[in-house]
Structure 1
Amino acid sequence: MNFYVHKMKCLLLLVLVCLTGCGNRNKAQVSCNADFDSFFEKFTSDSVFQKKHVDFPIMEYYSDEDFPLDMMERMTDEDSFEIIHFDKNAKSSGKPYEISIDKKTDSVFCYKKGINNPINIKYTFVCKKDSWFLVAITDTTD
């Protein structure tokens, strides 16, 4: 009987720890003191800075060529990562696109949308260690 009492106490303790930990997770709000606009300017113009602010391995999501509605995923490490180019004169280039930024409390979504072409890429940034990091790329370009 003593064994069962001990087992029940351990189970109760485990449940309390889980409930306490889970409740605090939703209450915590992350805010970044780093200005995203300044960060993004440097991220788009300095390839060394860009690579240092990618959370490797980074998850990339992309459309399947044969089934465009199906999303594929791959993890990209630092060695196979290609620098992301954000051409400031993209509107006058052969594949023009616009950049739009959607800022949330703890994340920022940067969208690269084509003008009269199928470019459609979302870059997800989150704040970690008081700086911004690219954590995911979703490419639904046809």
Structure 2
Amino acid sequence: MKILILNGPNLNLLGKREPSIYGNLTFEEFFKNLQKRYADVELHYFQSNVEGELINKLHEVGFSFDGIILNAGAYTHTSVAIGDAIKGIETPVIEVHISNVHAREDFRHVSYIAPNAKGVIAGFGLQSYELALISFL
């Protein structure tokens, strides 16, 4: 099984950025632990702060991987293009968020990804990614 974890803008700052919301662990540290726990799954990871690079990665793996776990960060609430890219591929996508976006600012309550996603997981910290992964198993 091949799964891509795809992170959007500012998620490269995990472990440094707003630790009260996002925690102290870097995503790379979390990803290494996830790979150890799920050694039978071929896990891939890509992060970009650039919308077009996220879309290109969705197109690249969207017909050959078994699943995509996507935290598009703020692009979740602004990018019709990422929503369209998900609609155009075959690989199922699960939208994830570290924080509970519905307990935050009103603009974070809107997702352009959710209508085209298999599901949405939010508010469980980094465990949101693991819950999404488990859903593909």
Instruction: Say which structure is richer in helix.
Output: 2
Higher strand share: 1
Compare CA radii of gyration and give the structure with the larger one. 1
Q: Do they fold alike, i.e. is TM over 0.5?
A: no
Greater length-normalized contact order (CA 8 Å, ≥ 6 residues apart): 2
